[in-house]
Amino acid sequence: MEKIALKALLPEFPRQRGSLISILREVNESFGYVSEEDVDEIAEYLNITANQVFGVLTFYSELRTKPAGEKTIKFCVGPSCYLKGIEKIEKAFQENLGVNMGETTPDGKFTLTPTHCNGTCAQSPMLQVDGTIYGQVKPEDAPKIVEEWRK
């Protein structure tokens, strides 16, 4: 992130440790991820260590330390989806796209990521592509879903 943009954003928040999550969410939302440089700048602003910032940053799965692809495919890892085979579906997408969970395709189009239950257990196993929910997904659905979003 440009230092100027981050420096303009930080004064919107109180200089206290309790602001950390709000700052991380805002930076992530505004710029798509929180860089190492951002971590250092936030730590300095809040007068805490970079390790403390990084610990919080990496605890929350919705916060990113690297840029995401144009489309994010989120796989529900809740109990219902797990019991109905989400791991096989994850593997099908990983093979189709040639990346592992948490990675972005070399062309920058797709990022694969796990997500916690979103309350659509009746449709399990499920996944989301940029908020569009696909329920009762099967491994063989992977190529069709990828092509639908590649356009």
* Topology annotation, domain 3-59: Arc Repressor Mutant, subunit A (1.10.10)
Mean per-residue pLDDT of the chain: 92
Inform me whether the pLDDT recorded for 1 exceeds 70.
Answer: no
The CATH class that applies to domain 71-150 reads: alpha beta
The distance from CA 30 to its chain's CA centroid, rounded to whole angstroms, is 14
Domain spans of the chain, in order of start: 3-59, 71-150
User: Where does 32-77 have alpha helices with state H?
Assistant: 36-46, 50-59
Supply φ then ψ for residue 65, to 5 degrees: -105, -5
Give the number of residues written for the chain: 151
Which pTM does this prediction carry?
0.74
Q: Is the pLDDT score of 72 beyond 80?
A: yes
Question: CA dist 149 to 39, 53, 110, 140, Å?
Answer: 32, 34, 9, 16
With 60 as the cut, is the pLDDT of residue 61 above it?
yes
Residue 40 has pLDDT above 50, yes or no: yes
pLDDT of residue 2: 52
pLDDT at site 108: 93
Write out the DSSP string of 75-109.
Answer: EE-SHHHHHTTHHHHHHHHHHHHT--TT-B-TTSS
Would you state the pLDDT for residue 3? 52
- 53, 97, 106, 143, 147 from 60: Cα distances, Å: 12, 25, 24, 29, 30
- The string of pLDDT tens digits covering residues 81-139 is 999 999 999 999 999 999 999 899 999 999 999 988 878 899 999 999 988 999 999 99
Task: Give the pLDDT confidence score for residue 4 in this predicted structure.
Answer: 64
